[in-house]
Chain A
Amino acid sequence: MFYRLASDAEMEKRRADEFEPGPASPLKPVDRFGFVKQDQNNSLEAKSKPTNEVEREERRIRKWRKMIGVGGSDWKHYVRRKPHVVRRRIRKGIPDCLRGLVWQLISGSRGLLLMNPGVYEQLVIYETSASELDIIRDISRTFPSHVFFQQRHGPGQRSLYNVLKAYSVYDRDVGYVQGMGFLAGLLLLYMSEEDAFWLLVALLKGAVHAPMEGLYQVGLPLVQQYLFQFEQLVKEHLPKLGQHFSEEMINPSIYASQWFITVYSYSFPFPLALRIWDVFLYEGVKIVFQVGLALLTVCQNNLLKLAFEKLIHALRNFPEEALDPEKLLPLAFSIKVTKRLEELKQEYEKQHGISLPQLTSSRFSLAAPSVSFLESANANLIKDSVVEYCCVAFAPTVEEVDVVGPLDHGASVRHSFVGGSVVCDSLVDVPVEQISPNVLKSHILLRSGESCLRQIDWLDDFQDSSCDLEDDLGVTLGPYRICMTWRFLVLWNPLSVMVANNIDANLGDKIFFFSFCFRLQG
């Protein structure tokens, strides 16, 4: 799929080739990422870099090494102190030689790996999966133009199979879905099988950002939601084009499904895909929307001229100049989507009846996390079938808040129905009791009769009342803000325990947690 442009002679040669990719010829020239070159003149990589650029690259690597520390030892510290610097540097692109390590650090997969020794091996060797044949069938069709994956039954294909099979066993609801191979393949070019597997887990289960498993579950619920959000964003950001799309009956499922399902790893030039992944792993899925909007923006004038068929073709074959990361990404970053994405998500959920049932005040409880609390919550979970937990935290600095996303609209309340005592262990030292429950209570009770989806509203108010909190706590909060983040919201998921531990170590007493539980009518 990469660099499809091929000369006639090349085409002739390839026509004669076998259907299934055989062993890669060692003589085939490859680009710096290991993809077999199909058109050397057209390749972005063909230009040799001037010396000053090489030096700049080396300086950059030195900076990155310093930031990461040996084996990533300084990373967390650095991220906490200078989140803006980290974000800026990641947006400029992680140096290729450090990419694998940094991806593991920012995705939270490292923690999962350390927490689960031997699990991967178990999944690969001892478990069987119903998807094995499906996976095998797709192995030679994943990144067929990359040397690592070309050799039949070679190390590339073997690791790809192992990772996908392990995941299909690990999460039998998801199993194996076409498209996951590209995620796994991309990761395997930068890390070991086991690391790639845990990064996949971190992404799909949501160790840092919202879980992506909905992209692959039956009915592809998250794909549907993203496509809805994207269509609206196109209408809002590019009204002319949005209008043109409606007239031509083009909906984003035609061209953007694979953007979301594979996070641009399926049919986009590899250098661009990598840069998107750098940002995607650190900032979350919004970059997928931003890049999509940026692409449409760049090509808008051309697209507006095209009717249905040529339009579809153009939307699947963007011109090479539009895919230059140095131009496309800055434009993407400049498009603000976070707030609208959340609003559109809620709109989508309302339209599709995903809205959660009414919150009943009588069944509401505010509690510090404790074993008994969780046990009873879990017991009720069986009875009531719908329970929503959430945790709230105060982060120490504005930057910290910025890292986790804007607060003004409440952002994402996430729920997860898996609890467990492990969670409590990690929260033992958290000074929950230091935070005045009354403040919380008054605000929650005030809203408790309203729709659960709107429960987030109280947080806005709550933010305003941080002064009260300061009084109650008898401490100066300074620029403290309430931030609802994955870190706390996913505490209920056993997977994220490590993440929580990290935070304890990192922020120590600078961060306040409290959590409570909504029990909703089943």
Chain B
Amino acid sequence: MGSPTGQGSSYDYSFKILLIGDSGVGKSSLLVTFISHYVEDLTPTIGVDFKIKHLMVGGKKLKLTIWDTAGQERFRTITSSYYRNAQGIFLVYDVTRRETFTNLSEIWAKEIELYSTNQDCIKMLVGNKVDKESDRVVTREEGIAFAQEYGCLFLECSAKTRANVEKCFEELAQKILEVPSLLEEGSAIGKKNILKQRQESQKNMGSSGSDCCF
């Protein structure tokens, strides 16, 4: 699938983003909508899925590596190892199902505490399915209150209508860019990958790598 040293390496920063939340809240839909602008008939995520998206934020070329996790409790033994080194985490709930919201504080915030290795990691609370306004049970105010309590960004969106989907990712990325420690990690990871490829082909280190992480 494509060459290893293709256009993929032309970015300033690379960030690892994680999507968590109950099963069926629309994590995969958000991601697929964000990546490919259309939603196919999605199947439940088994274990983890992974996608890459390049985007420009604040004049910087970013590469987001986004990990989409299975929401069902039983899969947490697999998904817990993917919290490592994430610079951004989306906590997703369904505004039409209250338990998906309460589980964020009951379960998912605790998972982050347990498994996230990154103190400065940016979290964003995302209320999905706002297109179903008449079925809504979690108010916007409740979302805001949660976000304040847990120190998260907050947005409501709809993967179905695509409302706010890109904004979610852009705002999260923007916030990461504002945190020096995360920024440093973001560039180090990128360099490390480039370095590895260059090393293999016995070439000199590229222009984008100056202070390497080895």
Residues of A at under 8 Å CB distance from B? Answer: 1, 4, 11-12, 14-15, 19, 21, 134, 137-138, 141-145, 177-179, 181-182, 216, 218-220, 223-224, 247-248, 253-254, 257-258, 261-262, 266-267, 302, 305-310, 312-314, 316-317, 319
Contact = CB atoms under 8 A, between A and B. Distances in A.
Contacts of A182: 43
Interface of B: 1-4, 8, 23-24, 29, 37-50, 52, 65, 70, 72, 74-75, 77-78, 81, 160, 193, 196-197
A390 to B, nearest CB: 30
A312 B68 CA distance: 13
Contacts of B38: 11-12, 14-15
Contacts of B50: 254, 309, 312-313, 316
Contact of A144 (B24, B43, B52, B65): B43
B1 A261 contact: no
Contacts of B39: 15, 19
A33 B75 CA distance: 30
Contacts of B29: 19
Contact of A141 (B37, B44, B52): B44
Contacts of B74: 177-178, 216, 218, 220
B197 A141 contact: no
Contacts of A1: 43
B46 A313 contact: no
Given A257-B47, A266-B43, 20 more contacts: A12-B38, A138-B23, A138-B24, A138-B44, A141-B44, A143-B43, A144-B43, A145-B41, A177-B72, A177-B74, A178-B44, A178-B46, A181-B44, A220-B74, A261-B46, A305-B3, A306-B4, A308-B193, A313-B52, A316-B50
B61 to A, nearest CB: 15
B77 A220 contact: yes
B46 A262 contact: yes
Contacts of A267: 43
A143 B37 CA distance: 22
A14 B23 CA distance: 24
B62 to A, nearest CB: 14
Nearest to B196: A307
A405 to B, nearest CB: 28
A216 B78 CA distance: 12
A253 B78 contact: yes
A306 B5 CA distance: 9
Given A258-B46, A258-B47, A307-B4, A21 B65 contact: no
Given A253-B47, A316-B49, A137 B23 contact: yes
Contacts of A314: 1
A253 B23 CA distance: 19
A310 B9 CA distance: 11
B206 to A, nearest CB: 13
A300 to B, nearest CB: 14
Q: Main secondary structure on chain A at its contact with chain B?
A: helix
Nearest to A179: B46
A134 B73 CA distance: 11
Contacts of A247: 196
A178 B81 contact: no
Contacts of A138: 23-24, 44
Nearest to B71: A178
Nearest to B40: A14
9 contacts: A4-B40, A141-B43, A178-B46, A220-B74, A253-B78, A257-B47, A312-B50, A314-B1, A316-B49
Nearest to B44: A178
Contacts of A137: 23-24
Nearest to A181: B44
Contacts of B23: 134, 137-138, 178
B46 A257 contact: yes
A223 B78 contact: yes
A220 B78 contact: yes
Contacts of A253: 47-48, 78, 81
B47 A310 contact: no
Contact of B75 (A145, A220, A307): A220
B163 to A, nearest CB: 14
A130 to B, nearest CB: 12
Contact of A309 (B42, B45, B47, B52): B52
A141 B78 contact: no
Given A178-B70, A247-B196, A305-B4, A21 B46 contact: no
Nearest to B37: A15
* 3 A-B pairs with least C-beta separation: A144-B41, A257-B47, A15-B38
A8 B44 CA distance: 25
A47 to B, nearest CB: 25
Nearest to A146: B41
Contacts of A224: 77
Contacts of A312: 50
A353 B176 CA distance: 41
A274 to B, nearest CB: 18
Nearest to A317: B1
Contacts of B160: 19
A137 B3 CA distance: 39
Contacts of A4: 40
B102 to A, nearest CB: 15
Contact of B1 (A145, A223, A258, A310): A310
Contacts of A218: 74
A261 B78 CA distance: 12
A416 B39 CA distance: 46
Nearest to A18: B160
